[in-house]
Amino acid sequence: MPAGELSIERPAKQWAAGPMRRALDAFLEAVGVPLDDRRSMILAAGEALANAVEHAYPSDEPGTVSLRAQFASDGRVVVAVADRGRFVYRDPVPGRGFGLRIMGGMAHEVHIDTTAGTTVRLTFNLAEGT
């Protein structure tokens, strides 16, 4: 499989998440990631995107969300979703709050950096499986 990289930035709006997930799928397919692995990656990245567009910015404040994916020849895929908003710790709400658990169940590693906005970095190791 060839190495490659994808980088997209869009307004942090609900309508932007779907096209970003589809672009990620097309990129992963182009570099030869098997369908089952792509589904896990898109699900995890989709949760990160949903969190960014829903929570990063106040509704009256515009902002952006970016998606970056890197595929290395050693079989690792790193997907990062970033915004320049504020990370907010919330009390649990019944029926909500499963995004981080879903990401953790799909990715080999999940790292969240909140020093300059929020960046969720998801690492998938295809050589070992996800």
The residue among 86 and 42 whose pLDDT is bigger is: 42
State how far the Cα of 53 lies from the Cα of 85, in Å rounded to an integer: 10
pLDDT of 83-123, one tens digit each?
Answer: 998 766 555 555 556 677 777 778 999 999 989 899 999 99
Residue 130: inside a domain, yes or no?
Answer: no
pLDDT of 48-62, one tens digit each?
Answer: 999 888 888 887 788
pLDDT score of 14 more than 80: yes
pLDDT of residue 12: 93
Residue 28: inside a domain, yes or no?
Answer: yes
pLDDT of residue 95: 56
Domain that holds residue 98: 4-125
pLDDT of residue 2: 61
What CATH number corresponds to the domain at position 114? Answer: 3.30.565.10
pLDDT of residue 94: 54
For residue 6, the cross-strand partners are: 69
CB 117 within 8 A of CB 83: yes
For residue 28, the cross-strand partners are: none
What is the count of structural domains for the chain? 1
Residue 53: inside a domain, yes or no?
Answer: yes
Residue 78: inside a domain, yes or no?
Answer: yes
Residue 114: inside a domain, yes or no?
Answer: yes
